[in-house]
């Protein structure tokens, strides 16, 4: 092939690339203009929920890609869910935002101490918000940012409250870890190994006697034993004892009720030194 043919081929290739790039840029500009016109023409309050959910998902993805986004669609779904009590809208909110809430909870510094599982805290976060924001209070939210800030606060509260209750109960359980055997090191008569062993047994019996007396049925006793003595996760308990509990959420509910009851008990609080 002659040099002229090679030059012609290279020139043709470069022109094709330029034309392709220009065409791509033109398509992007056309799509951007089309989207802008569609956004301006959209009236979220007049849209069907399915369309709103689609727009909300698209705009949320744009936001997390650091691109220009329109928050009106997500805000409108929240307005219908919380301001109007629309259950279908609330379901759409859950589907859209549960990954975000799960991320907040997974990154929370107290999640390990709380003793719970992420999915359960996600559910409780949405339950908290639904219960705390009746239609009459929705007007307090100015925009989507303020709504999501409140949702994040609900997630934080769900984790922290459980962490505090679990910590209080763990202080009680820690009494059960007092030494069973005599200390081999020499000790004074007042603090001799037999005295320490007897004291440990006395505290252990008193602690679990108080706890057991405040448990109302065999299912509560089973949950406490599995969670705090055997260190089992709720999913493991459900599998190990089929037919005893309906689902994992029931185990969490029993745990919550028991911890709240024990945390209020003055005798248990005095035993772990929480009362002055």
Give the pLDDT confidence of 146-198 residue by residue, as tens digits: 999 999 999 998 888 887 777 766 655 554 444 444 344 444 444 445 555 56
Instruction: Identify whether 218 is part of a domain.
Output: yes
User: Could you tell me the CA-to-CA distances from 276 to 153, 206, 208, 266, 272 in Å, in that order?
Assistant: 31, 20, 22, 11, 11
- Residue 20 clears pLDDT 80, i.e. is over it: no
Q: Is residue 160 within a helix (H) or strand (E), and if so which, with residue range?
A: helix 144-175
Distance of CA 158 to the CA centre of its chain: 8
Instruction: Identify whether 184 is part of a domain.
Output: yes
Tell me: do 97 and 70 sit in the same domain. Answer: yes
Residue-level pLDDT at 176 = 47
Tell me: do 176 and 146 sit in the same domain. Answer: no
Tell me: do 204 and 168 sit in the same domain. Answer: yes
The answer to whether 194 and 182 are in contact (CB under 8 A) is yes
CA–CA separation, 276 and 262 (whole Å): 17
Which among 61, 133, 119 is positioned nearest to 90, based on CA atoms?
133
Average pLDDT in the chain: 78
- Residue 29 clears pLDDT 70, i.e. is over it: no
* Ramachandran quadrant class, 53 (left: phi over 0; alpha: psi -120 to 50; beta: rest): alpha
Torsion of CA 210, 213, 216, 222, to 10 degrees: 70
Instruction: Identify whether 121 is part of a domain.
Output: yes
Number of other CB atoms surrounding residue 69 within 10 Å: 18
The answer to whether 44 and 73 are in contact (CB under 8 A) is yes
User: Could you tell me the CA-to-CA distances from 135 to 99, 124, 131, 149 in Å, in that order?
Assistant: 25, 19, 10, 18
Tell me: do 244 and 148 sit in the same domain. Answer: no
Tell me: do 135 and 168 sit in the same domain. Answer: no
Per-residue pLDDT of 214-244, as tens digits, reads 888 999 989 888 887 777 888 889 999 988 9
Torsion of CA 229, 234, 240, 243, to 10 degrees: 120
Lowest mean pLDDT among 43-52, 63-72, 185-194, 222-231: 185-194
Instruction: Identify whether 36 is part of a domain.
Output: no
User: Which residue, of 126, 145, 160, is where some domain finishes?
Assistant: 160
CA–CA separation, 37 and 31 (whole Å): 10
| Phi, psi (deg, nearest 5) at residue 177 | -95, 10
Domain residue limits at 229: 164-271
More confident: 89 or 206: 89
- pTM, two decimals, is 0.60
User: Which residue, of 160, 184, 212, is where some domain finishes?
Assistant: 160
Instruction: Identify whether 178 is part of a domain.
Output: yes
Instruction: Identify whether 22 is part of a domain.
Output: no
CA–CA separation, 255 and 223 (whole Å): 7
Mean pLDDT of 120-127: 91
229-253 burial by CB neighbour count: b if 16+ within 10 A, else e? Answer: eeebebeebbeeeeeebeebeebbe
| Phi, psi (deg, nearest 5) at residue 230 | -95, -10
């Amino acid at each position: 092939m002659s040099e002229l043919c090679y030059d012609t081929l290279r020139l043709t290739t470069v022109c094709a690339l330029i034309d392709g790039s220009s065409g791509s840029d033109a398509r992007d500009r056309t799509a951007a203009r089309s989207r802008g016109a569609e956004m301006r023409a959209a009236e979220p309050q007049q849209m069907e929920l399915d369309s709103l959910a689609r727009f909300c998902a698209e705009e949320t993805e744009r936001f997390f890609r650091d691109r220009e986004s329109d928050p009106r669609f997500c805000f409108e779904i929240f307005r219908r869910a919380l301001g109007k009590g629309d259950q279908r809208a609330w379901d759409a909110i859950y589907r859209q935002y549960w990954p975000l809430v799960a991320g907040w909870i997974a990154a929370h510094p107290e999640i390990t101490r709380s003793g719970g599982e992420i999915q359960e805290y996600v559910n409780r976060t949405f339950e908290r918000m639904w219960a705390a924001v009746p239609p009459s209070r929705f007007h307090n939210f100015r925009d989507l940012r303020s709504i999501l800030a409140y949702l994040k606060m609900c997630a934080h509260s769900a984790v922290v409250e459980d962490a505090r209750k679990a910590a209080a109960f763990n202080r009680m359980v820690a009494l059960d870890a007092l030494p069973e055997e005599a200390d081999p090191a020499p000790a004074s008569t007042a603090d001799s190994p037999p005295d320490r062993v007897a004291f440990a047994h006395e505290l252990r019996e008193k602690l679990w006697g108080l706890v057991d007396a405040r448990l109302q049925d065999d299912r509560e006793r089973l949950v406490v034993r599995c969670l705090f003595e055997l260190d089992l996760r709720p999913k493991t308990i459900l599998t190990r004892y089929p037919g005893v509990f309906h689902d994992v959420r029931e185990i969490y509910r029993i745990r919550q009720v028991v911890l709240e009851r024990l945390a209020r008990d003055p005798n248990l609080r005095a035993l772990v030194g929480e009362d002055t």
